[in-house]
Amino acid sequence: MSAGDTAEIIRQLTALCRAKTGDPDATVSEIQALPGHAGFSYSFVLEAKPGGVAKREKLVIRLAPAGVRISGTADVVRQARVMASLAGTDVPVPPVRWHDHDPAWFGRPFYVVGFIEGHTLLPGQPQLDPKGINRLAREGIRALFALHQLDWRSRQEVWGEPFDFTEEFKRLDYLLDRPTLDPEMVRLAPKLRERLRSTMPAEPRIGCVHGDFQWSNLLMRDGELLAVIDWELSLIGAVMIDLGWFCLFCDVDSWVGNGLRPEHCLSPEEITALYSDAANRSVTDEVRWFRALAGYRFGVITVFNVMLHRRGKRIDPLWEEIGRSGSRLFERGLELLG
């Protein structure tokens, strides 16, 4: 972030914070760009005297990407409203302070949440020992089950209409059905797609779904779960979408090399057992189709991004490494469906 960018963000943040706190002398400092996608995030320190009482707090602002249509993953205000709808539940989320579609502040929508001092299991972050990752998995699954138990109907105005699998397959078809993809990577994809369509669950359990529930979206400290983050893909739909997705990032048999599994990772069977314990019934058979769906979804995402990287459309060498597992993800999905 250049000095000019920093100065402009500070100016805009200062104006916002003074308006929101009612303190004309509020100050903003220690701004720092944060990693992420589908937007731009910065942490900062706010010092103000709302009501005459001095207060210093660390906050995070997330801005929608500039120059894009505000929908889907770019709709940061919806993300803030989703997190706000979870306040007071057993699903830990960052506390939402402000959000607005009004471009007067930053030229685009934004939200501001409280900063939580922790980290995730992204590459380059501190990893956990077996005891720590076991604790994080247990707390994560408890939070996930709590999310799935919430009354989704009362949250539908914020979360949207129930998700339809046919729409997801259409979206994935758009990414998959093109001649520029690596033919070897996608060789088994059409076969898995048809198997998934022909075995689709007739009446899956519906609830609030995170949409990208995995290790890198569990904010923690010393194995203690502090918050579930990144709600861009949240939806009302089949709750097993989340468990199948989490299992994918625990499954050694889905990846060539370590893939995207953290060190000392629990197995999909152990993760499923934790969820079954929370639900007080076995979900092993129920989740199998969703594990195959997760492999198909991420396989399509992988081969598409490898194609973009190789053609110079969106350079990211990480996709070459992930792409080693491209064909294996489809193969593993077929194994899970028998």
Evaluate whether residue 287 is within a structural domain.
yes
Quick one: what percent of the chain has pLDDT higher than 90?
81
Residue 247 belongs to domain with CATH number = 3.90.1200.10
Same domain membership, residue 146 and residue 87: no
Same domain membership, residue 89 and residue 153: no
Same domain membership, residue 49 and residue 165: no
Which of these, 81, 83, 70, lies nearest to 109 by C-alpha position?
70
Domain extent for 52: 3-114
Evaluate whether residue 256 is within a structural domain.
yes
257, two tokens: 């090399």
Predicted confidence (pLDDT) per residue in 175-207, tens digit: 999 999 999 999 999 999 999 999 999 999 999
Same domain membership, residue 67 and residue 207: no
pLDDT of residue 38 exceeding 50, the answer is no
Same domain membership, residue 100 and residue 182: no
Q: Which residue type occupies 130?
A: P
Evaluate whether residue 120 is within a structural domain.
no
Predicted confidence (pLDDT) per residue in 234-282, tens digit: 999 999 999 999 999 999 999 998 778 888 899 999 999 999 999 999 9
- Domain end call among 63, 89, 114: 114
Evaluate whether residue 237 is within a structural domain.
yes
Q: Are 178 and 311 within 8 A, CB to CB?
A: no
Place of tokens 């250049």: 2
Evaluate whether residue 302 is within a structural domain.
yes
The total number of structural domains in the chain stands at 2
Same domain membership, residue 156 and residue 232: yes
Same domain membership, residue 139 and residue 40: no
Predicted confidence (pLDDT) per residue in 203-227, tens digit: 999 999 999 999 999 999 988 999 9
Question: How large is the angle between the packed helices 284-310 and 268-279, nearest 10 degrees?
Answer: 130
Name 304's bridge partners: none
Same domain membership, residue 262 and residue 304: yes
